[in-house]
Each structure stands twice: as structure tokens, then as C-alpha cells.
A and B are shown apart, each in its own frame.
Chain A
Amino acid sequence: MWKTIVRRFLIMIPQLFVLSVIIFVLAKFMPGDPFTGLITPQTDPARIAELTEKAGLNDPVHMQYLRWMGNAFQGDFGLSYTYKRDVGALIGERALNTFWLSLLSVILLYALAIPLGILAGRYQNSRLDKTIVLYSFVTYAIPTFVLALVFLFLFGYQLRWFPTSGSVDIKTQVGTLGYYWDRFYHILLPSITYAILGTTGIIQYLRSEIIDAKSMDYVRTARSKGIPMRKVYSKHIFRNSLLPIAAFLGFTITGLLGGSIFIETIFGYPGMGQLFVSSISSRDYSVITALVMLFGFLALLGSLLSDIIMSIVDPRIRIE
């Protein structure tokens, strides 16, 4: 078990290394340098040269890369040009917002997908099953930004059921129950949108898993022992089919990060995805490189998590 995890972890290191090199090269191609925002037209050229020397921009490229990585490991990504703030602190704030949004999205996603998948598999070929299959097909085909906009238009502006942007109403008092309720209220519509769009994989997997399980020997054995079908489903089939679903969690995280770029932009939610888009628009390169690195790290972590969960629930795939 531990062997698998360690081995899987070791594979991650070269991937992270390649990603960091790509980002470093891209950052080199980006216009501007770490002093953008510190320098005004009045700054003395000698002072600029001195700053350049001090920041090590005259060193060989591999030295610069090593220093950049060293700083990145310590959480030092430099200063944000638009916000005039430390990038680490800025992202930390936004990351928390994205975390809450993602958490609610995942909860809603599983709460929606698991019952639908189970029902579709259990009542295979019934009208209910056909409706669920159609639903998962339609949500698979809809692009994220189209559904998010239509929801915002319909439930935000037309029906006024949900707030249309932001993470919390400024009038609420920090720390009160109303404050937390308001924050929850603000992430509800974006989370629902995400949950609806993300269900396809889980529903289809669960459905086919349950349909396959029906003709398995252990189900026949259970039936012939006289266990009612209802019990066979709840005690035998679901337990076997649900476990692999846990492994979807890692990939769900990866998907959430990609989706957050659209969802947060449309719902005006101040998370990392929105920060990324606004940083690109304002050419805030120190923020961009830090965000891509962080997202890459989280995505790798997500797939690592999936593999670990998978090897816990299914001993057959442990690498020996």
C-alpha cells in the first residue's frame, strides 16, 4: 500500500518539474519584469540597473530558474502589479473563497449524481432510467458558460431568487449567523450550476456498474439464499458499485478548478478563477505564474488522490 503511494508520489515530481520549467519559460516571454509597478519614468537608470543586478536578472538562466523555484517553495511569488500586494497573501485569500465554493459544489454534485445513477441502474430501461440518461446526455453537451449565464439570467435577474455577484453582502456583520448564511447564499447558485454540469461521469459509471452487477454470481447467490431484492441492492450491489465512485473525487477537483474560471467570472465570485482572468486582462504576470503553478500542483494532487483512493478500495490495481 505505502509502496504504491510513495511510487505514485515519485512520478509526480518530474511532472511538477516540467510544469515549472514551462511556466518559467512562459514567464520569461511575458512582457514586463518584477519591478513593473515600482518604477516610474523619474527613476534613475542607474538605480534600475542596480535593481536588475540585485534581483539576479543578469545571472545565467538556470540560476534564475533555481532561485525562482526556491522562492516559490517558500511561498514568495513576488508583488502583484495591480493590487500592490504580496501575491501569496492575495492568492491565499482568494483560495479560501474558491475552497468553499468547491466544497459545496462537490457535496451537491455527489448528492445529485449518486441517487440518479443508482435509480437509473436499478430500474434499467424504465421511463425513469431513460429520463436520467437523457438528462446526463444533455448536461454533458451544454458548455459551462452557457448554462451559467442562462441560470444567472433566469434565477438571478428575472426571478431574483439568488444574488447575482460577489461573495457576501457588505451590509451583514462579520461573524454573525446572518453573515455565514449570506456567504452560503452567494455560493449556492454557482454550486448548483457546477453540480448539474458535472454529474454525467458519475451517473454513467454508477449505472453501468449496477447493471453489470445484476448478472454477477454473488447477486445470484444472495437471491438464491432468499434475500429480498431490496436488501440485495442496499447491502450487496450498492456497496460494491459505490466504492469506485470515491475515486472520482480527485478528478472532480481537477474539473472544478478548470470550471472555476468560467463559473467565478460569470457569477462575479472573488475566487482564484476570477483572479486568473482579471490578472490576464491586466497583464499581472506574477499572479498568473503563481496561479498556474498552484492549479497545476492541485491538479496533480487530485489525480494522486484518485489513484490512492482507488488502490485502497480496489486492491487489484495496487502496483507491486
Chain B
Amino acid sequence: MAKKNEKNSNVNHVNSPPTGLQVIFREFMKDKLAMFSLVVLVAVIIGIFFWAYFMIDQQQLMRVSLRDKFAAPGDKFLLGADQGGKDIIGQIVVGAKNSMLIAISITLITGIFGILVGLLCGYFGGWIDNMFMRIIDFFITIPSLMLIIVFITVVPKYTVGAFILIMSLFLWTSTARLVRSKALSESRRDYVHASKTLGTNDFVIIVREILPNLSSIIIVEMTLNFAGNVGIETGLSYLGFGLPLSTPSLGTLVSNANNPLVLQQYWWVWLPASLFILFMMLGINYVGQALRRAADSRQRLG
């Protein structure tokens, strides 16, 4: 009897649909380009953090040396030097580290807040939902890029932390909207009704029962948001409204190209940073697309 049970459970295991990580793994195995993006992305991120923290002395890096002004790529500087004779590749590494840290912070803050608001609105509905939806509608229609810039210039003590908070203030709405719509349809399902009938309290239903069912779309949304945040941060730094000038940033490096002379003759100052941003965005987005397919059974490749 015991043996039979064991056999049964074995059969069940083989037949049960693949779940969670298995689906994601299969999706990445099917899509070689996504797998490649993921591997390269992880390697680059680890490499950059390792390089930035252990192999680069930031003060040494930001020291101005006029003798090396616009030094061409070569032996002394792998990718040349900028107007102040500062090593480009070192600035790219430190800049990429800063950009990623900021983008990760913003993604986490907006993610957590957005999920919270989305779950509350979707589950409870009523006046909470109405209030937040009006607020979200408002945020979506206003010119947020301009307001972020104005906020940045008005804040008296401008720091990286303030920058992250200002960005987060304007960027939580899309996650909240998505989570709300999913939570809304999820809370109409039978398992939620059943749970309510049994007397489970709302908090447990939301966190233990609805949230796990939304995890796949949340992962996708956060990945794509991460890419978007890298784009917005570098864009603002490019315009000069991002990181303080003393901190190397990918956007600041690209903004050297605002000088037509640099744009035309010293391509090594701005082009590598631009290409780095470009390939990073492509990589993150590609991984995000593969995750999105894995989350939606109709789009899966494998």
C-alpha cells in the first residue's frame, strides 16, 4: 500500500505542470539570446561592483591631470581620457556602479510602494481604490520629467538620497496600476471567496494568498522598471540634473558630447558610455521580455 502511494506521488510529480523557477529556466533554455543576455548581464554587474569597490581608487580617478587632456586610447588609458585627463574606463565602471545602485534603489522603493497600493486598491476597492486611482490618473497625465527636474533644482540640500526619493515620488504609479488590476481580478476568484467564508482575515488573504499569485508579473514589472530607471537616471544626469558633478555617472560622461568638438573628435569620451548604456538597456529588457513570456502561459516558447 505504501509502495503504491509512493508510485502515485511519483506519477503526479511527472505530470504536474512546471511551476515558478522551472518555467523560467525552461524559457531561458529555449531562448538562447535571452540566456546569453542574462549570463552577460549578471557577469557585467558582478564584475562592475567588484572592479569599482576593489580595484579603483575614486579620488585617484577624479584627479585632474592636464597633461593627459583628451589622451587617445592606448597603453596608459585603455579607453583614453577626458577633458580633465581622467581615465574614461574607470569612470565608466564607477558610473555604471552608481547608476545601477540608484536604479535598484528606485526600483525597490517604487516596487514596494506600488505593490502595497495596488494590493490595497484591488482587494478592498471602494473609496481607497477611487482615491488612489484619481491620484494615479493625475500622475500619469502631468509632465513628470519636467516636475522631477524642477524638484531637483528646488531641493536645498541636494544629495543622491534626495534624487532617489524625488524620482520614486513620480515613478510608482505604473506598478500600482498593474498590481491593482491583477489583484482586482484575483480577489474575485473562488479561492479568495472560500478563504473569506472560512474567516481568514484580510491581511492573510492579501499577503499569503493573493500576493504569491501575482509574483510572476511583479518580477517582470520590476525587471522592466529597472531598465527604465537606468534610462531615466542616465538621461537626467546627461542633462545635468542627476548625480552631483563630482560623482561619476554614465550620463555625465555622455554629456561631454554636448561640446561639438568632443562629439566630433574625441569619440572615446562619450561613445563607450553611450554604447554601454545601450547594451545594458537591451540586455535588461531582453531578460524582462523572456520573463514576461514565462509569466504568460500563452506566450511561452517552451
Contact = CB atoms under 8 A, between A and B. Distances in A.
Nearest to A158: B264
A280 B254 CA distance: 20
Contacts, number: 104
Contacts of A18: 138
Contact of A137 (B150, B231, B260, B285): B285
B282 A277 contact: no
Interface in B177-216: none
Contacts of A26: 150-151, 154
B16 interface: no
Given A149-B254, A300-B141, 19 more contacts: A15-B137, A15-B138, A18-B138, A29-B154, A30-B153, A138-B282, A140-B285, A141-B282, A143-B234, A146-B274, A149-B257, A149-B270, A157-B260, A157-B263, A254-B143, A257-B143, A262-B239, A291-B146, A292-B150
B234 A276 contact: no
A14 B154 CA distance: 25
A39 interface: no
A30 B152 CA distance: 11
B29 interface: no
Interface string B204-242: 000000000000000000000001000100110011110
B112 interface: no
B25 interface: no
Nearest to A140: B285
A294 B231 CA distance: 25
Given A254-B141, A299-B141, A146 B254 contact: yes
Interface residues of B, number: 41
A144 B235 CA distance: 8
B289 A137 contact: yes
A19 interface: yes
A288 B143 CA distance: 13
Contacts of B240: 281
A149 B151 contact: no
A277 B274 CA distance: 21
A22 interface: yes
Interface of B: 137-138, 140-147, 149-151, 153-154, 227, 231, 234-235, 238-241, 254, 257-258, 260, 263-264, 267, 270-271, 274, 277-278, 281-282, 284-286, 289
B146 A292 contact: yes
Given A26-B154, A143-B281, A296-B143, A262 B235 contact: yes
**In this complex, which of B146, B263, B274, B285 has the most chain A Cβ atoms within 10 angstroms of its Cβ?**
B146
B263 A146 contact: no
Contact of B274 (A149, A261, A288): A149
Interface string A256-278: 01100110011000000000110
Given A140-B285, A143-B235, A258 B264 contact: no
Contacts of A120: none
Contacts of A22: 147
A181 interface: no
Nearest to B146: A292
Nearest to A12: B141
